[in-house]
Structure 1
């Protein structure tokens, strides 16, 4: 599906603007904290792992202060989208954890706004110059891959298990995350969810299957105003099974629009953490991006 969609978009781009060549980019948006990354430096992959590792065509690291509130930092995400995803250029987006909130927030609240077409040549602050002074509506995004998405929040924030001094923790309270913007308003961009289940330490706090930080209700893109208990097939003590694809959960609870589960961790093999080496559930997204982002 991704390959077919990408090929169609590329063909249409060539047909519409044959006099200009299009460049594709892969933008990586990290989650909470972010490991001391340099904001505005699109080559700083220190949050993820070695920068030499393949991670999609023309990969760029979209860095922000992951201890602060989504709204205060979202301008950095919009700067990157303006830089690389306007004009004749197109983007694949890969996000982790609270990076899911960042791209969802940008698309829902700003994806219908006029954006100046940029030249993909950022200054030291990560801001690119205009090309011809014209604008377009929103950004050229092919799809979004989501590793352990936290757009539905985490009960670790609800229960104060994370450092309460970080403003972002308030955003990650499940009811707050789910009310922050319209999660169905993706501007018709598909979100492919990769949900890990290798969670043990916080099993008593996180409902259903989890990856030690976020539960399936969030990583699976399940709709609603608060979280729920969702599991792999055959697991007990859950309110429903997280089904793959766009299918509703077994209890009838739907996913948000344009959300599809690409990986449900039936083998409980992937935890939340990249560990500075593209590890955990991030590794499954990296492999998918390498395969399809070209």
Structure 2
């Protein structure tokens, strides 16, 4: 019965205006909200102007309470794997629900273009999806900055200690960079898959990402050379001098490998 009622209400919302404007329908559905005018036209306006905004605000309030509650759980139950998994799953569902609520009205607008008009008007949904993509990119940027900062501090504090933990932090750092690269390339991959799209879209993004990695590698190489040079100058221990020489040799080798890879990628993209 509830499914039938929901389908009926949805059908009333998308009925053509001339056919449904004067069907007598009670539209004072929520006693604590103001009522609308009579007819399906009034019911439609009541939903869009009163009921839907109220439900959105209510949903935002509930979602914020959930985020705070599960955030406290994550902080207080660090050692309890089941609680951690439950909180993470709840966060995923809450984010997915927020996206659906944000896109709900735009999905309806996509399939109600008006008369005359095409059956589907994609512009509202495209606008909504663009906003969702921007939201996820902004959230990812904040998470990556926080993770890289934490990993950098840990690498400094763990210098010379806990070799296994050092390797773990390095692996997480490179995984963060890989995740950023995949997100940056996502739009280009989808755009390149569109009918009639040129593969040059993806090639341009790949070259840009490679340039970004080259900048990082160049900065790291400069720091490695400076550290090795300082060790060579101020160290009286032969083992440290050998370590400095090894660092310089490894850095030069890494630069050669990276530049060779870059040249090969450019060569194959130019074919």
TM-score by shorter chain over 0.5? no
> Whose strand fraction is larger, Structure 1's or Structure 2's?
1
TM-score norm. by structure 2 comes to: 0.21
Mark the structure with the bigger radius of gyration. 2
Please state which structure has a larger fraction of its residues in helix. 2
TM-score by length of 1: 0.20
Name the structure, 1 or 2, with higher relative contact order (CA <8 Å, separation 6+). Answer: 1
